[in-house]
Every structure is written in structure tokens, then in C-alpha cells.
Amino acid sequence: MYGEGYRIGDQLQFDNKNFSFNGDTILKRNVPVAVVVMTSGDLIGSNNIITIQSLATGEEGMYHEK
């Protein structure tokens, strides 16, 4: 779920339809849009937070679990 700052959608769902990963880069429909700059948790467990940064503007945004 979106938390604050730079936003690329309400949720980050890496299903290869809209968003996917290539290393630490987030792709939206195969176009690089952001990089992961920090994560907490294990991305599979609970209380996970991911901080991303826009490649276009440098703005950071935070996403977290529901």
C-alpha cells in the first residue's frame, strides 16, 4: 500500500503485467521508473516497508503492507 511521497500506484504488485523488477530497478510496462533505495523486513514476512526513488525526479516514496 502507498504510504507517502513519490507514488507509482496504490499498490506495488510485481506480477509482470504492470510492474516488474530488474535488479533494484522497478519497471512499469518494461520502462524503468524507479529504484529501490531501502527495504525493511524480509519482503515476505510482516511489517515490510520499501522506499523507492523516481528515476525522473529523484523524489522518494514509501510503500508498506496493508
Averages of pLDDT over runs of 10 residues in the chain (66 residues) are 89 77 91 92 69 96 85
- Can you give the pLDDT at residue 25? 95
- Can you give the pLDDT at residue 57? 97
Which CA distances in Å does 42 have to 13, 54, 55, 59, 66?
16, 22, 24, 24, 15
Strands 19-22 and 2-5: unpaired
Global confidence as pTM: 0.81
- Can you give the pLDDT at residue 44? 59
**Helix, strand, coil percentages in the chain from 3-state DSSP, rounded to 5:** 0, 50, 50
- Can you give the pLDDT at residue 59? 97
Give the residue numbers spanning the domain of 26: 2-64
Number of structural domains the chain divides into: 1
